[in-house]
Structure formats: C-alpha cells, structure tokens
C-alpha cells in the first residue's frame, strides 16, 4: 500500500517528464545557488551542518545524532538546531519531550532531543543565538545546507548509496535541490550511506568521501528475528525500512508506506493494530514514526507497536573527528569560539 512516494521518473536517466520539467529545474537550481552564495551571520559557536543535496531520506537525522554523540564523547556541549518540519512551532524553542509532541515541534526534533539539547527555530540565527545563551559549544544543524543565514564552520552532505542523486536533475525534474557539482563547492565532505552503484558513480571530485551504514539495534534484531510482521513507515524511503526488516530475519507480511512526516490519526493506527491482530503479526515501525504517536490519544495503541532503532556507523570514525576539528579550527580562526575542547585526533585513533 503506497500513499505517497517520489515520482518514478526521478530515478530514470531519461524520461519525457524529466525532459519537460528540466527548464523549470534549471531555474530553481539557479535561484537556490544564488541564495546559497549570499553572506550569512557569524554566531559565536562552532557550527556544523548536516545536509542533503536532494529531497527525500538519506540518513541525515541518524547522522546528526552520531555527530552529537561524538561531540559529547569529546566533552563538548552540543545543541541540535533544526526548523522542525511538520511542527507548528516557529521558535526559537528548546524542545522538551515531556511537553511537546510531533505536531508542535516535528518528529525529528523529538528524536534529537533524546541525545542532546535541541532547538526548533524557523529563524536559524535566532536559534543558534539561543543555543549560545544556554552554554552551547557546538551547534549541529539538521538540514539548512542550502540556507545561507548562518556561516557554517563545516558542512557534511549525506547521500544514499543506492539512490544516489536519482536522474541528476533539479526539482521538479528530479530530486536535487540544486545542481550537484555546484553544491559540492559549499560542502567540506560527503557521507555515502550504504552500498550502491548510484552512489559510487557520483562525481565527487576532490571532496573527501566518508562511508557509513545504518546498523539496527541488536536487542531489536533479536526480538524481531524470525517474526512475521506488519511494517509501516512515513519516512523519505519507506522501502529501505522494509528491506532492513527482511535483512535482520523478519518476514514482512504486509507493508504500509505513508508520506514523509505523515501526521498519523488515531484511526490510521487503529486500522493497523486491528490488521496486525487479525493476521497475528507484530506491528513494527521506525523510531521517527513512533514519536509521532505521543499524547493521550495514542495511549491505548502505542504499546502494540515495536520499533527497529538504527544507528549511523562510520566505516572510519577518525574521518568524523577530522571534520569536527576542521570546524573548531575555523571557528577559532574567526574569533567566534574558544579553543577546541577535543583531544588531538591522533590520540583518539
């Protein structure tokens, strides 16, 4: 069952729709690139941006969480900063999972708040300044790569290895937010998530390319291995979640794919619970989906739903340290940050 997905022609190298929409994509890409080239505001904190060259899921939020955890290990005090897609709050607002739900701040903000202090703000400069006032040493931006409002000390572009950049065209002709090669000029490195010819064939030029993969939580794997499940997901690429369940040994009997950030109703979830009960299946979703089911309205159904948490694992973690230290050095050079808090990379290798 498929409620929403990217157009098929976005992954086709040649298509009539892509050709017809390409002139509009060229215009959109040009506007985006001109905007990206505008000067931003320097804030007195180390700013690291995790972004996508395309629309759709690629593992960006798990990457932000991995960066936050690494900074905490390095004895920094990082804050996450994001717009709060899907939430009604404009901000700047510090997320409190005990007070806020996905309708207020968005699902990604609730996930990030489980790892580090998180601020939702449509005005990213105001959000970063709030983080500074609360003692942040680093701000890690979830998205905002194409937004020039803040000067970033380092930017990492996350690309899905299997999907790559699709047909290589700019929206609406393809999934890119702006031409890929030109976006690379604004990035310090790229993270290629998972295997795939599409990612391997990309024109990365001389940019450093990290490799990582989404690794499911071992306890959840043990719980779901050999089970028959009904899986549902409202993320950028639901099929990746369904495939991951099959890879860990679950039998995915039924699949329900919703639009990214889908605002579930009680009726939506009750139908899934009833269907899973009817077929004697485990009902499974992603962490990102389950945080949308907070509040009293979902109290009776939440306990019926299991999740498969995933973590972003870098093939060479030292490469992430190098990126962090590059950002810290740039911040110090600009006079906006204290000396880097971390130990030397060589000592952590």
Q: Give the pLDDT confidence of 304-333 residue by residue, as tens digits.
A: 899 999 999 999 999 999 999 999 999 988
Residues forming a β-bridge with 82? 120
Report the run of H or E that residue 252 belongs to, with start and end.
strand 251-257
Q: Residue 1 pLDDT more than 90?
A: no
Confidence (pTM)? 0.87
- 283 pLDDT exceeds 70? yes
Mean pLDDT across the chain? 89
Residue 340 in this model has a pLDDT that exceeds 80:
no
Are 288 and 235 in contact by the 8 Å Cβ rule? The answer is yes
Other Cβ atoms within 10 Å of 75 Cβ, number: 10
pLDDT tens-digit series, residues 225-275:
999 999 999 887 888 899 999 999 999 999 999 988 888 888 899 999 999
Q: How far is residue 98's CA from residue 96's CA, in Å, rounded to a whole number?
A: 5
Domains of the chain (ranges plus CATH)?
A: 46-214+313-348 (3.40.50.300), 218-308 (3.40.50)
What the block records as the tokens of 77 is 């005090």
Measure the CA–CA gap between 246 and 319, rounded to whole angstroms: 31
Which pLDDT belongs to residue 336? 62
Q: Which residues contact 250 (CB under 8 A, 6 or more apart)?
A: 224, 225, 226, 227, 228, 229, 231, 282, 284
b/e 185-198 (16+ beta carbons within 10 angstroms → b): ebbbbbbbbbeeeb
Q: Rounded to an integer, what distance in angstroms lies between the CA atom of residue 332 and that of residue 272?
A: 52
Write out the two tokens for 4: 């929403």
Taking every pair of Cα atoms in the chain, the longest distance, rounded to a whole number of angstroms, is: 63
For the record, the structure tokens of 274 come out as 């009833």
């Amino acid at each position: 069952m498929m409620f929403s997905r990217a157009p098929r022609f976005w992954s086709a190298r040649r298509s009539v729709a892509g050709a017809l929409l390409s002139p509009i994509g060229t215009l959109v890409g040009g506007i985006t690139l001109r905007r990206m080239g505008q000067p931003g505001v320097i804030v007195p904190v180390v700013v690291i941006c995790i972004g996508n060259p395309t629309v759709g899921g690629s593992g960006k939020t798990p990457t932000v969480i991995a960066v936050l955890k690494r900074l905490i290990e390095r004895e920094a005090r990082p804050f996450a900063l994001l717009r709060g897609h899907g939430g009604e709050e404009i901000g700047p607002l510090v997320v409190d999972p005990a007070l806020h739900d996905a309708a207020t701040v968005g699902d990604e903000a609730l996930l990030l708040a489980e790892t580090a202090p998180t601020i939702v703000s449509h005005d990213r400069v105001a959000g970063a300044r709030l983080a500074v006032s609360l003692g942040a040493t680093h701000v890690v931006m979830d998205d905002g790569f194409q937004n020039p409002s803040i000067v970033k000390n380092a930017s990492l572009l996350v690309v899905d290895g299997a999907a790559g950049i699709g047909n290589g065209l700019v929206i609406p002709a393809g999934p890119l937010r702006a031409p890929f090669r030109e976006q690379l000029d604004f990035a310090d490195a790229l993270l290629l998530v998972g295997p795939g010819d599409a990612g391997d064939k990309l024109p990365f030029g001389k940019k450093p390319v990290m490799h990582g993969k989404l690794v499911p939580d071992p306890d959840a794997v043990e719980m779901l291995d050999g089970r028959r499940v009904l899986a549902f997901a409202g993320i950028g690429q639901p099929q990746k979640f369904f495939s991951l369940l099959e890879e860990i040994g679950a039998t995915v009997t039924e699949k329900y794919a919703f639009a990214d950030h889908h605002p579930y109703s009680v009726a939506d979830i009750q139908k899934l619970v009833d269907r899973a009960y009817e077929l004697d299946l485990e009902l499974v979703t992603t962490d990102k989906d389950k945080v949308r089911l907070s509040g009293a309205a979902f109290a009776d159904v939440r306990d019926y739903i299991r999740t498969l948490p995933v973590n972003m694992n870098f093939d060479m973690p030292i490469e992430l340290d190098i990126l962090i230290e590059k950002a810290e050095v740039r911040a110090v050079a600009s006079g906006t940050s204290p000396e880097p808090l971390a130990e030397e990379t060589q000592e952590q290798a």
